[in-house]
Structure 1
Amino acid sequence: MKSTSVRQDSDKLAEIVVSGMQEKKASDIVVLDLRELKNAVADYFIICSASSDTQIEAIARSVEEEVEKLIGQNPWQTEGRTNREWVLLDYVDVVVHIFLRDRRQFYALEELWGDANITYVEEEASAAAN
């Protein structure tokens, strides 16, 4: 079991990631809390959709900038920037998935991790934040 401070760190990181996504109008933001699942690879998966490859890159940059600015952390690893259909930002405890809408449906990560506690971030929250 992880210590309370590590849990709080991943909770805070998850909040910052969602904020970075909302900043660039990401849609269908979902937070999968994997902490109670056996053999989970992270504390959280945060998934969103984008309407274009340009928006995917803008969302990824926004998330990276917000996390760097607020907690000074960079992704441990990034994937998918060259094909621009699905960008993954791996912060170890929090893994960020930014999909083109049809790619997201194809991979269906929410279904794959269906046992997770899933939170759907309201679209109105992103509009109110601006």
Structure 2
Amino acid sequence: MKETLATIHEILDSKKAIDVRIIDISRISNFTNYFIICSGANEKHIQTLADELQKKLGERGIETAHVEGYQNAEWVLLDYFDFIVHIFSIETREYYELERLWADGKVVDVRALP
């Protein structure tokens, strides 16, 4: 899983995602193990981040189970069962404060990933 998380971080970073955070919620959630949270600069950037993740992970045999919010691109959710990627507009991320809501999770140090 750590390799997958590192790959996700690399993909998002290569497309200039803003403030990428990975949170381990496996001990406090019964529906997924990790949240990957980031922001995009605008609607097109958010959609590009989602598209690139789906493409690159799909090439590795990791398919998206469910996508929400792609059309309006304020909050795009990509569900992969073991992890969920949340791609927000800056304003929507500030409004929902997902990191605060899941503060009992453990923030993953991306520098420690393979």
Is the shorter-chain TM-score for this pair beyond 0.5, marking a shared fold?
yes
| 3-state SS of paired residue (2:56) | helix
| Aligned sequence identity (%) | 33
Unaligned segments of structure 2, at least 5 residues: none
Q: How many residues align?
A: 111
Q: Is the 8 A contact 2:57 2:63 kept in 1?
A: yes
Q: Is the 8 A contact 1:80 1:86 kept in 2?
A: yes
Q: Kindly state the Cα deviation for residue 44 of structure 1 after the two structures are TM-superposed.
A: 0.3
Cα deviation digits, residues 74-102 of structure 1 (max 9, x gap): 10000001111110000001100000001
Which of 29, 43, 66 is the aligned partner of 2:33? 43
| 3-state SS of paired residue (2:64) | coil
| 3-state SS of paired residue (1:75) | coil
Q: Which has the higher helix share?
A: 1
Unaligned segments of structure 1, at least 5 residues: 1-9, 123-130
Q: Distance in 2 between matches of 1:48 and 1:117?
A: 16
Q: Is the 8 A contact 2:65 2:81 kept in 1?
A: yes
Q: Kindly state the Cα deviation for residue 120 of structure 1 after the two structures are TM-superposed.
A: 5.9
Corresponding position of 1:4? none
Q: Distance in 2 between matches of 1:80 and 1:120?
A: 28
Structure 1 residues 59 and 89, CA gap change in structure 2 (3 angstroms): same
TM-score (norm 1): 0.79
In our comparison, the structure showing a higher alpha carbon Rg is 1
Q: Is the 8 A contact 2:9 2:20 kept in 1?
A: yes
Amino acid at match of 1:98: I
Cα deviation digits, residues 22-73 of structure 1 (max 9, x gap): 1210010000101222x4421100000111000001111111112112x212
Q: Is the 8 A contact 1:16 1:63 kept in 2?
A: no
Amino acid at match of 1:54: K
Matches within 5 A, 1:1-130: 10-37=1-28, 39-69=29-59, 71-119=60-108
Structure 1 residues 83 and 27, CA gap change in structure 2 (3 angstroms): same
